[in-house]
A and B are shown apart, each in its own frame.
Chain A
Amino acid sequence: MPEPLLDIRNLRIEATSYPPGEPPRHVVLVDDVSVSVEKGKVLGLIGESGAGKSTIGLSAMSFGRGGVRLTAGQILLNGRDIRTAPVSELRKLRGSEVTYVAQSAAAAFNPARKLMEQVIETSLAHGVMPKAEAEARARSLFRQLGLPNPDTFGDRYPHQVSGGQLQRAMTAMALCPKPDLVIFDEPTTALDVTTQIDVLAAIKRAIHETGVAALYITHDLAVVAQVADDILVLRHGKKVEYGTTDHIINRPEQAYTQALVSVRSIEHEEKPAAKPVLTVANVTARYRGTHFDVLKNVSVDVAPGQTLAIVGESGSGKSTLARAITGLLPPTSGRITFDGRDLSRDLAGRTKDDLRELQMIYQMADVAMNPRQTIGTIIGRPLEFYFGLRGEAKRKRIQELLDQIEMGKGFESRYPAELSGGQKQRVCIARALAAKPKLIICDEVTSALDPLVADGILKLLLELQAQQQVAYLFITHDLATVKAIADKIAVMFKGEVRRYGSKTDVLTPPFDDYTDLLLSSVPEMRLGWLEEVLAHRKMESAGN
């Protein structure tokens, strides 16, 4: 057996956190994790947020964010222990032997410097190769990664290229100094599905062609199944299961891994068409001071107790549609009918009942709540405002709502910062329900959550819908979620509704080109999916 490139043995990582108003707390982030990567192989690290995947990934450079300390165990890189190596020595290996690809390339590139300068910086700083050679290598990597105009791409600044291109440029930056190991930290998470598949394919090809070893960190098992040779499943900083990709995907042994593999267990029967509660007819809208319609002639409707899913990539106009319906962006033409009455175009013209019956839940639960108010105050506010509830009546209703979101007693006196991401989103749901709405607009409500937590939120939303006959307008980019909960689907692209109808109609072929691209880009949890899709697309484009 060849000696591994990276051999992590019994690694323990600790940190000290400083919660406000409490004494400093000592936490163990990673406990007794052992893992190894051979030359030219890809190891997938997978787990929920807080599982310690990024922390382990960065430990391969012996780097700890903030006050994170690598306290015990060994990190053997090319046979020597780097855990205890002095910073001056680490600086030599960071950026030359091991390089890093961050989740958000848009934030990880320096906005003030040209891409080429940043891509070749490590090669020059570590004296790996002279400038001319580094630039030539960067250009060939740009070409390899499928970037447009590879010869001049490096002359641009980060803000001049798209998010998917930046992510590929970051991969080029990591590969340029010919490292032994690249750490990919959620490199496709921030991208749209149709972009993700291209970047994923480019990364996979580049890994294969350069023969570099890689750590691939992600929360998406379907993605990691496409690129990794081995997978380590983590939870709460501990190993859950470690094995080949085939083993983890097809024959998982641990219950947690099985849950991850079979996530999206929701079965939802499509409900028959009914008289709509909300009708959006030929709505066109543009932002003030612009000359470009962000919504073009959009017509959709949704019936009581049903869910209309609005699907599309970033910039497709999904959230803008929500703004038009809620009155935040008055449409330039078209009609919005709600519960049999016409809604005023702008917010100022709407009655209190209009406002009450139409509620919103947002993607970022933590910024949608006042951090200085207790959960009781947050949920109690609509009760006071719409129904004038006070004292005991209000307290009783708050408890009722907390029961509905399955959070039980004792939560009303706590603050948002004390809750987990899933609990915060539940509180936001309770706040929306408190107004007894007829329609709730859910804007990417599960996108910031881990898969298992998101699953719980979706189940809760469906139960509440069955009980209270509330309609949902569910905005998302995640097609798996749509399949799970929608009754009707509208596919949006560049401000237009490209495809619209019942779930079965929309998801049954023949598809239009865009819907086909969108549906086929969603990663599936099986080996070889990426190759199949790419081969299929190649065949089709050759046929045309």
Chain B
Amino acid sequence: MHPVLKLVAQRVALGLLLLLAVSAVIFLGVEALPGDTAQAILGQSATPQALANLREKMGLDQPALIRYFHWLGGILTGDLGKALTNGQDIAQAIGQRLGNTLFLAACAGVISVPLAILLGLVAARYNGRWPDKLISGITLSTISLPEFVAAYFVIYLLTQLIPIFNPVAMVFPGMGFWERLHAVALPVIVLVLVVLAHMMRMTRAAILNVMQSAYIETAELKGLSPMQVIWRHAFPNAIAPIVSVVVLNLAYLVVGVVVVEVVFGYNALGQYLVDHVSKRDLPVVQAVGMIFAAVYIGLNILADVIAIVANPRLRHPR
């Protein structure tokens, strides 16, 4: 087998193993909480008899190990159980919100990743001169603002001063693509501002690190322009560190944006999770936890795979 395929297969297998371990941790964590689902439904004043009946009905009297595998089997077949608070099918409720989450993350990613890398390249090109300082200054100040401050600032600017967007990012099923894009414009802008600096700084640092190499001098002595040197000779050797930071930020865009969702009233997964944590709706918390873990691990596997494929020594062994 080609060594790259072997390495990729290894990474994917390790990722699946890790996901299994995470599922156990999530399950155990919820187990360790005082009380259980039956208690949560019936409340503090329930009689022991009623509790026992409900537990039997829900299968909660089974040993933890059996319930774990039952739950795991459910996840694998797409059955995440029912929410306690409203009896809704969790898979269905999550499905739509996950779509919204991914749409928002994708829009922010499509804008921020190329922009951050471009700014990083420009900053590296003018290392220590004014364009570098300007880019670093602006991106560092946007990352330093708390998300909600940035959000209110953007709302004030783009709905009051220049009223071109709606302050509330309402989306509903059946909405057209452009309509939807217009609706999420403000949260996307805020998220771009938040993740830009980290990726830009890392791109700049990775490029500057590679610029110390002897082959960069070779490229300079070939009479190439500074931007050609960076793009053709430095960037291909800086992909691995850049990708790992990009992926970290993409994962953040999926799992960490609840504040932005709340500010803009955007109906997505983060808000759904926080709602159900406060209501002690444990099946929902477990299900969303697993989804977030899967996204995180999946993206990191992707970063590993890109780093492997980008390395010519692994791609073309001697």
Contact = CB atoms under 8 A, between A and B. Distances in A.
Contact of B236 (A96, A104, A107, A110): A110
B218 A125 contact: no
Contacts of B237: 110-112
Contact of B223 (A104, A122, A157): A122
Given A100-B218, A108-B214, A110-B233, A95 B312 contact: no
A109 B316 CA distance: 16
A92 to B, nearest CB: 6
A414 interface: no
A68 to B, nearest CB: 12
A94 B222 contact: yes
Contact of A107 (B214, B222, B224, B228): B214
A484 interface: no
A159 interface: yes
B222 A122 contact: yes
Interface in B98-147: none
B223 A96 contact: yes
B97 to A, nearest CB: 41
Given A112-B236, A159-B318, A95 B222 contact: yes
Contacts of B222: 94-95, 99, 121-122, 125
B217 to A, nearest CB: 7
A65 to B, nearest CB: 8
Interface in A84-108: 90-96, 99-100, 102, 104, 107-108
Given A159-B312, A159-B318, A160-B318, A110 B215 contact: yes
B312 A111 contact: yes
Interface in B200-220: 213-215, 217-220
Contacts of A104: 214
B221 interface: yes
A61 interface: yes
B315 to A, nearest CB: 8
Contacts of B218: 100, 102, 108-110
Contacts of B318: 159-160
Q: How big is chain B's contact interface, by range?
A: 20 to 34
Contact of A157 (B224, B228, B312): B312
- Prevailing SS type, chain B contact patch: helix
Interface string A99-140: 110101001111111000000011001100000000000000
Given A113-B236, A160-B318, A108 B215 contact: yes
Nearest to A183: B221
B316 A157 contact: yes
A125 B228 contact: yes
A107 B233 CA distance: 13
Interface residues of A, number: 30
A362 interface: no
A63 interface: yes
A159 B314 CA distance: 10
Interface string B226-259: 0010001100110000000000000000000000
Given A61-B221, A95-B221, A122-B223, A107 B215 contact: yes
A126 B312 contact: no
A157 B220 CA distance: 20
B214 A102 contact: yes
Contact of B220 (A63, A92, A99): A63
Nearest to B219: A110
A63 B233 contact: no
Given A159-B318, A160-B316, A95 B236 contact: no
Given A113-B236, A160-B316, A91 B223 contact: yes
A159 B313 contact: yes
Contact of A95 (B215, B217, B224): B224
A94 B223 contact: yes
Contacts of B220: 63, 94
B233 A95 contact: no
B86 interface: no
B236 A90 contact: no
Interface in B33-75: none
- Most chain A beta-carbon contacts within 10 A, residue among B217, B219, B310, B312: B312
B221 A63 contact: yes
B223 A107 contact: no
A121 B215 CA distance: 13
Contacts of A156: 316
B223 A93 contact: yes
Interface string A50-68: 0000000010010101000
B278 interface: no
B10 interface: no
B77 interface: no
Nearest to A61: B221
Contacts of A121: 222, 224, 232
Nearest to A114: B312
A99 B220 CA distance: 11
Contacts of B232: 113, 121
Contacts of A111: 215, 237, 312-313
A493 B19 CA distance: 51
A220 to B, nearest CB: 21
Interface string A200-222: 00000000000000000000000
Given A110-B218, A111-B215, A157-B316, 13 more contacts: A65-B217, A94-B220, A94-B221, A94-B223, A95-B223, A107-B213, A107-B214, A110-B219, A111-B313, A122-B223, A126-B223, A160-B316, A160-B318
Interface of A: 58, 61, 63, 65, 90-96, 99-100, 102, 104, 107-113, 121-122, 125-126, 156-157, 159-160
16 contacts: A61-B221, A90-B223, A93-B223, A99-B222, A100-B218, A102-B217, A108-B218, A110-B236, A110-B237, A111-B215, A111-B313, A113-B232, A122-B222, A125-B224, A157-B313, A160-B318
Interface of B: 213-215, 217-225, 228, 232-233, 236-237, 310, 312-313, 316, 318
Closest 5 CB pairs of A and B: A94-B223, A95-B223, A95-B222, A107-B214, A112-B236
